[in-house]
Amino acid sequence: MPRFLSIAYHDENNRPTAPPSPELQQKMGELFEEITKAGVVLDMAELTPTSQATRGSLVDGKVQYTDGPFTEAKEVVGGYTVIQAKDKAEALEWMKRFLEVQGQYDGTTVEVREILEG
């Protein structure tokens, strides 16, 4: 069964400052329970903001470091999920369910990519 990496992007400059509403929290809890009980999620995590991130890049053969935040980027990776599904259609169906809950943060984008095996 193929694995898929779902990468969630969001606009870091326009994140809601208030904590999620009780309704949203409840919906997120239900979704979390659903995916746990469906046995499809292998790993999932939310990432710290890019203000705590560091980029390394190779310039003229030397590693150069840049500390976050990376405000120039419109969208940054906010979290990821590794799921195992029968096929891409099934992975996309789970992505849809995730977006329907997370989509209450407008501008969230999720990219689904199959993980190369072997």
Partner 1 sequence: MTGTDTAPTIETVFRIEAARIIAGVTRVVRDIGIAEELAQDALVAALEQWPRSGVPDKPGAWLMATAKHRAIDLVRRKETYARKLAEVGRTLEDVPPPPEPGDPEDIDDDLLRLIFTSCHPVLSTQARIALTLRLLGGLTTEEIARAYLSSEPTVAQRIVRAKRTLAKAGVPFEVPYGEDRGARLSSVLEVIYLIFNEGYSATSGENLVRPVLCEDALRLARVLQGLMPDEPEVHGLAALLEFQGSRLPTRTGPDGELVLLADQDRSKWDRLLIRRGMAALRRAGVGEYSLQAAIAACHARANRYADTDWTMIASLYERLMALTPSPVVELNRAVAVAMAYGPQAGLEIVDALAELGSLSDYHLLPSVRGDLLERLGRTAEARAEFERAAALTGNARERDLLLARAERIRKLPLPPMFVLSPLPNRFRRRRFEVQPRC
The continuous run of DSSP H or E covering 7 comes out as strand 3-10
- 81/102 Cα distance (integer angstroms): 13
114 binds partner 1 (CB under 8 A): no
Q: Which amino acid is at 35?
A: I
- Interacting stretch for partner 1, rule CB under 8 A, among 19-27, 45-53, 61-69, 89-97? 89-97
47 binds partner 1 (CB under 8 A): no
Q: Is the dihedral of CA 48, 32, 11, 45 positive or negative?
A: positive
CB of 74 to partner 1, least distance (A): 28
DSSP structural state of residue 37: H
103 binds partner 1 (CB under 8 A): no
Closer by beta carbon to partner 1, 56 or else 118: 118
Closest CA relative to residue 14, chosen from 110, 107, 99? 107
Please pick, from the candidates 13, 14, 21, 36, the single residue that binds partner 1 as defined by CB under 8 A.
36
| Contacting residues for 64 by C-beta, under 8 A, at least 6 apart | 56, 57, 58
Please pick, from the candidates 22, 39, 56, 61, the single residue that binds partner 1 as defined by CB under 8 A.
39
**Contact residues for partner 1, defined by CB under 8 A:** 1, 33, 36-40, 42-43, 82, 84, 86, 89-90, 92-94, 118
